[in-house]
Structure 1
């Protein structure tokens, strides 16, 4: 799994930086904003993923511009994922020892630009 690969890299290969990169027009983030009954109709693994994303998004403000709303939703999901990873015991110990940093970023597919989040 992706999580196991990251754990291995951090624990055994000494990786010092993990970047959680969300991207413009993310289908999963968009789907997670659907009503809960629509999400429940998906396959169990997909429904679980979308429900987790939905929970992390909370109540996003509806922005007038679709691109701004998309960026806000994706960036919020990235921040939630960074926080969840940083709370993992293996990662938290490495972060506390200044041996690991986990950062989030937003990738604009239209321009190729990557914007690192605070």
Structure 2
């Protein structure tokens, strides 16, 4: 498989924070609103822009529940928090007891520094997230993705790699030493191996991005459900790279 200052302040205002048009419904899923891949990418870009600039909106959460934590833990960070009110958050939770309508699937690393909901400044019910070290996929991952695509009508899949990924680094070092990683960690090494072998003369970043591309390519063709929808233009699969240094996500491939 060849794959690829703001003044420190907590702002106490309510902000619904959406200018997007209401999504259309999918004829095959009348209860599921459809958000196009282009619109989904736009939402992710906007959210990550807020995150990297320190202007977090935290949609669908309660501002009141965060006020003490934010004012004490983040008072020197320069971040502004534009959150929803407690009543709005409660309404959102109530809506989600009936159904979920995520607009994007994020396949990301388990690294604690890269939580997609925070990195993209999204809230409850917005993202369908799968996290495995090295952002690799297996049968269970594919089943989860197929479910979100086929039953929740999600139209965008993002494979999110990140700077200084420990899983990719471990795979590079293990393969270079012709060694075997302990226990189940070897399964991660095996999954990342194609990216390592295709970037033998490259640095860690090159391998991280090659691994993202490998997973993107695999998702585009790995199962009849996904391949059919990708070929028909109904689903888009792209890669992303998160910078630990800047907090910014760069989309690698918008094919």
Under a length normalisation based on structure 2, what TM-score does the superposition of the two structures give?
A: 0.41
Residue 77 in structure 1 maps to residue 211 in structure 2: yes
The unaligned stretches of length 5 or more in structure 1 are 64-68
Cα offset for 1:35?
A: 3.4
Query: What is the DSSP-based 3-state SS (H/G/I as helix, E as strand, rest coil) of the residue aligned with 1:21?
Result: strand
Question: RCO greater where, 1 or 2, for CA within 8 Å and sep 6 or more?
Answer: 1
Cα offset for 1:61?
A: 4.5
Question: Structure 1 residues 3, 111: closer, same or farther in 2, change over 3 A?
Answer: same
**After superposition, what is the alpha-carbon deviation per residue over 1:49-91, rounded to whole angstroms, capped at 9, x for unaligned?**
211201233141435xxxxx22211100000000011112211
Larger Rg, first or second structure (1 or 2): 2
How far apart are the structure 2 equivalents of 1:112 and 1:41? Answer: 30
The unaligned stretches of length 5 or more in structure 2 are 1-139
Query: What is the DSSP-based 3-state SS (H/G/I as helix, E as strand, rest coil) of the residue aligned with 2:145?
Result: helix
Cα offset for 1:109?
A: 1.1
How far apart are the structure 2 equivalents of 1:41 and 1:94? Answer: 37
How far apart are the structure 2 equivalents of 1:84 and 1:104? Answer: 12
Give the match for residue 14 of structure 1. Answer: 153
Q: Superposition RMSD on alpha carbons, in Å?
A: 1.7
Query: What is the DSSP-based 3-state SS (H/G/I as helix, E as strand, rest coil) of the residue aligned with 1:33?
Result: helix
Query: What is the DSSP-based 3-state SS (H/G/I as helix, E as strand, rest coil) of the residue aligned with 1:111?
Result: coil
Give the match for residue 238 of structure 2. Answer: 103
**After superposition, what is the alpha-carbon deviation per residue over 1:88-116, rounded to whole angstroms, capped at 9, x for unaligned?**
22110001111100000110011011111
**After superposition, what is the alpha-carbon deviation per residue over 1:19-53, rounded to whole angstroms, capped at 9, x for unaligned?**
00000110110011123443x2411x321221120
Query: What is the DSSP-based 3-state SS (H/G/I as helix, E as strand, rest coil) of the residue aligned with 2:218?
Result: helix
How far apart are the structure 2 equivalents of 1:109 and 1:35? Answer: 24
How far apart are the structure 1 equivalents of 2:171 and 2:182? Answer: 11
* Partners of 2:181 and 2:189 within 8 A in 1: no
Aligned pairs, number? 111
Greater helix share, structure number: 1
